[in-house]
Structure 1
């Protein structure tokens, strides 16, 4: 049985959409138990009794605009996010899922769950969609602005294990986001990272990948610093949403077009939406920690949060932490 700790009060649409996502996950997965942390009175209208759901009451939680997560961790220790995280630290749960403020989740992860000894940094690592239905891992998408080549190498090793275990890719290709595909392109960080990854046998280095190729690249893992990758991810999501709006406008601006859509194109448009919809992914793992932490989208609806729970469950089942630890320890022995 997999047991997850869930922050019931994190997110723009908490607690309603969080609770509904939890109940959907319990309905879908028979091997799942959930510890739900939050204000029981506020969650009550959306809750229903379930033998695999335990509600732990706290009326304290973090605002989505929280600017001082360290201060909150000191003076607001009973906040729903922090209680859920301590449950994982104390082995009462296998992983945590939260749609709360990203900075607070990253800081609390560092201070409560702690970084893996073999990892020099942690990274926010969403699984991103593509136009070919191929899932890719993008990191770091926001945890670190300043990185060194060896940090990106750690991320490549971690993401390679996740790609093998979770995405079932036998020999995942690692790409480096850059302004051009040729060796020697980009900043000093990019040039040095290219050289380091090229000479590392533990990963399958694909080479540089231009941002225009994100949605159809052959690479299974895309690496960059937190600023660059975050911009790339948000640009991709924004473009997908805008394209969807344009299609909807153009295909429904007359009765005849609406009829055509209804008769012939409904399934195709639904498939298009699912291909690029971030709600289908659910969230991003925080790679490099001693336990699984999944950051769901702040604006998650019930289905998106359910997918965040699904992702955390699958990461636990795949024993990603154990596999990464063994590989990194092996690398240290050979240095």
Structure 2
């Protein structure tokens, strides 16, 4: 059985949507057991069955608007997120899923579960929509404001292993986000990273891509720093929402539009599904000694169940161990910060 720790109190819709998401995941996968950390009384209000479910009562919750995540992780020992992570650190469960505050989750992963030996930075890595419907791994989208070229290479190796074992891609390709496609473009970070990626025997490097290619590139992995990646991800989310709103306005603006909608209803629903973040589940935190999945803060039950699905696949496919093996012979990676 794969045992997964659940922060049942994290997120805007906790615990009701978290509990429903857990039940949905349990109905889909018969090889998982879930341990829910949170207010036992509140969880039981919404839990229909205790089959393959255990509740660990906690008395504290790290708020979504937390200003000092480091202090919260260190001082709130009985918080649902902290106890879930500590259980994974101690080997009681094999992965963590939370819809709680992003920075608290990243800090907690650092301080409690710890980074992998040869990973000098972690990354927040969602799977974003693509024209071919296979999805793209985008990293980093906010764990690090600044990265060095060797850190970028480490993250590219992690993403390559993940694309193979998680997405099922035999020879995943990596593209570097830049202001131009030619070699030599960009800041020193991009120039030096380009050289490392090009020389790496592990990376199938396609070269630079520009922002306009993010949805259409053939690359399976898009690599950038956390500042740029966060802006890119939020731009995609905002554009998708705005396009949806504009489309609704145009449909409602005329009788012809309303009639046309009746014929296009199935197509529009499929389009919405292709752009829906709930289909993915959550963002993966790369570089930690155990799988940590960050579900969206406003996750509904379906979205949270997909985040659990991600954690299950990470454990089942032994991705952390495979990354460790891929990194073991890399000579130029620093031995210290």
Q: TM-score range by the shorter chain?
A: over 0.9
Residue aligning to 2:232: 232
Residue aligning to 1:290: 289
Residue aligning to 1:331: 330
- Per-residue deviation, 1:182: 0.9
Runs of 4+ in structure 1 displaced over 6 angstroms?
none
Of 249-258 and 3-12, the range deviating more from structure 2: 249-258
Q: Secondary structure at the match of 1:330?
A: coil
Using the alignment, how far apart are the partners of 1:332 and 1:308 within structure 2?
Answer: 34
Residue aligning to 1:165: 165
Residue aligning to 1:320: 319
Kept in 1: contact 2:122–2:286 (CA 8 A): yes
> What are structure 2's unaligned runs of at least 5 residues?
none
Residue aligning to 1:244: 244
Q: Secondary structure at the match of 1:331?
A: coil
Residue aligning to 1:73: 73
The 3 A distance-change label for structure 1 pair 55 and 239 is same
TM-score scaled by structure 2?
A: 0.96
Asked if 1:124 is matched to 2:118, the reply is: no
Using the alignment, how far apart are the partners of 2:329 and 2:265 within structure 1?
Answer: 51
Q: Deviations over 1:197-237 (max 9, x none)?
A: 11111100111111111111111101111000010011011
Residue aligning to 2:50: 50
Residue aligning to 1:62: 62
- Per-residue deviation, 1:44: 3.0
Using the alignment, how far apart are the partners of 1:114 and 1:243 within structure 2?
Answer: 40
- Per-residue deviation, 1:253: 3.1
- Per-residue deviation, 1:332: 4.1
Cα RMSD, aligned residues only: 1.6
Aligned residues: 334
Kept in 2: contact 1:131–1:275 (CA 8 A): no
Q: Deviations over 1:69-104 (max 9, x none)?
A: 221222210100011111111111110000111111
Equivalent residues in 2 for 1:9-20 (5 A)? 9-20=9-20
Kept in 1: contact 2:118–2:333 (CA 8 A): no
Kept in 1: contact 2:150–2:333 (CA 8 A): no
Asked if 1:223 is matched to 2:208, the reply is: no
Using the alignment, how far apart are the partners of 2:79 and 2:114 within structure 1?
Answer: 18
> What are structure 1's unaligned runs of at least 5 residues?
none
Q: Secondary structure at the match of 2:194?
A: helix
Residue aligning to 1:309: 308
Kept in 2: contact 1:17–1:300 (CA 8 A): yes
Using the alignment, how far apart are the partners of 1:92 and 1:224 within structure 2?
Answer: 34
- Per-residue deviation, 1:248: 1.9
Residue aligning to 1:133: 133
Q: Secondary structure at the match of 1:290?
A: coil
- Per-residue deviation, 1:271: 1.0
Residue aligning to 2:5: 5
Kept in 2: contact 1:69–1:103 (CA 8 A): yes
- Per-residue deviation, 1:256: 4.3
Residue aligning to 1:275: 274
Using the alignment, how far apart are the partners of 1:330 and 1:74 within structure 2?
Answer: 35
Asked if 1:35 is matched to 2:35, the reply is: yes
Residue aligning to 2:114: 114
The 3 A distance-change label for structure 1 pair 21 and 77 is same
